[in-house]
Structures are given as structure tokens and as C-alpha cells.
Amino acid sequence: MHIKKILLVLTVGGLISCLFVGCNITTPSGSDSVEGEDGAGSIQRVVMVELFVAPTCSRCPSAKLAINSLSNKYGLDQMVILEEYGWDDPNSVYVGWHTQETFQRFKWYNDST
């Protein structure tokens, strides 16, 4: 019995020491880091902006102006602009401009907000 207790204590001690060995702080290295505005290293990423439009959308022109302003500020090397027809206007002649996939994605974004 005494040997089992010693073996149990050694096993638990070994497991606890393994947990602390994995807690070493590592710093990332590579060419992805660039100098940020605050002086700290940061990773440069490209952002995708998805704009859903429709032929009779009343808010689309102002949204396009805002996205144009963002593209002027950050440049097209830092953002990708994707403009898609998100829905049809059933009361007009503009039908068939969207796909089911873009409509479902537009609906998911719209329901999520």
C-alpha cells in the first residue's frame, strides 16, 4: 500500500510539472510582422468588405460613398471590395439579379444584426 501512495504522488507531481513546462512564453518570428503606428509589431491583413446592393436600393449610394472613402484611406492593397446583388425588388422590372447563395448570405447578415 505504501508503494502505491508514493507512486500516485510521483505520478501526480509529474503531471503537474508537465503542465508548467508547456507554459513557456514564445514570441512569433517571421516576415509577417510590420511596424505599427504604436511602435509595436503587428500583422498586416487584408480586409474584405461585402456590399449588398439592389437596383432600387435607396441607401446603396451612401454606402458606396462610405466604402469609396475607406478605399481611398486604406488603399486596395489592404481591402477587397465585393459588391453583390443581395435581393430583387418584386415590384419592379429588376428581377433575377441576385443568386440564391447571395440572397441567403444577405439574409443571414441581416438577421444577425
**C-beta neighbour count of 52 within 10 angstroms:** 21
pTM value is: 0.50
User: According to the model, what pLDDT value does residue 37 have?
Assistant: 55
- Would 63 be classed as within a structural domain? yes
The count of structural domains within the chain is 1
Q: What residue numbers bound the domain in which 81 lies?
A: 43-113
* 80 falls within a domain: yes
For residue range 88-104, list pLDDT tens digits in order.
666 666 677 777 888 88
What pLDDT, on a 0 to 100 scale, did the predictor assign at position 73? 92
Read off the DSSP letter of residue 94: -
Model confidence over 15-40: pLDDT tens digits? 666 556 655 666 666 555 455 555 56
